[in-house]
Amino acid sequence: MRIRGLVVDPTSNSPVVVLENPDGKLLLPIWIGVCEANSIALELEGVAPPRPMTHDLIRDLISTAGCSVDHIFIHTLEDSVFKASIQFRDANAVVHNVDSRPSDAIAIALRAKVDVLVDPGVLEHGVMNAATVEETIRELLERMRPEDMGEYEM
């Protein structure tokens, strides 16, 4: 999956990161927190903060410990809550999985430049048809005021 964009849900006023499958036909929207959305947005735009942010710190700690991030995996959708893990290898090539919120895992995946994987069962229940999502987003954008919109277009 790749990150298609960030939008704000006008109903809940919450950020939504939208993942897209490789052929662009399926979209997986995940509602996330404002801080995580900011971290993802900065990385997507290539903006380097003057001091490391939390996700930069985590990436640097992993690297300094002699480990590397392999990928992140969004593995569960339960009661409308997504669950994820970050897989990394230590200096002895031992694989470790650490539980994570999807938003944190995505922010780290962007910084480590690794794949975002999604379990097929999660896709089956959480994914939306791209055409339906595009139309819904267009309708939402038509109702939003320009000052409510960020720089992220679908």
- Quote the percentage of the chain above a pLDDT of 70: 82
Asked if 71 and 109 count as a contact pair (C-beta separation under 8 A), the reply is yes
Inform me whether the pLDDT recorded for 141 exceeds 60: no
Inform me whether the pLDDT recorded for 153 exceeds 80: no
Asked if 97 and 87 count as a contact pair (C-beta separation under 8 A), the reply is yes
pLDDT band at 12 (very low <50, low <70, confident <90, very high): confident
Residues 16-72 have pLDDT tens digits of 999 998 888 888 999 999 999 999 999 999 998 899 999 999 999 999 999 999 999
34: closest CA among 56, 4, 55, 14? 14
Give the residue with greater pLDDT, 50 vs 126.
Answer: 50
Supply the DSSP symbol for 147: G
Instruction: Check: pTM over 0.85? Answer yes or no.
Output: no
Inform me whether the pLDDT recorded for 119 exceeds 90: yes
d(CA 140, CA 9): 8
Which of 83-92, 125-134, 136-145 has the lowest average pLDDT? 136-145
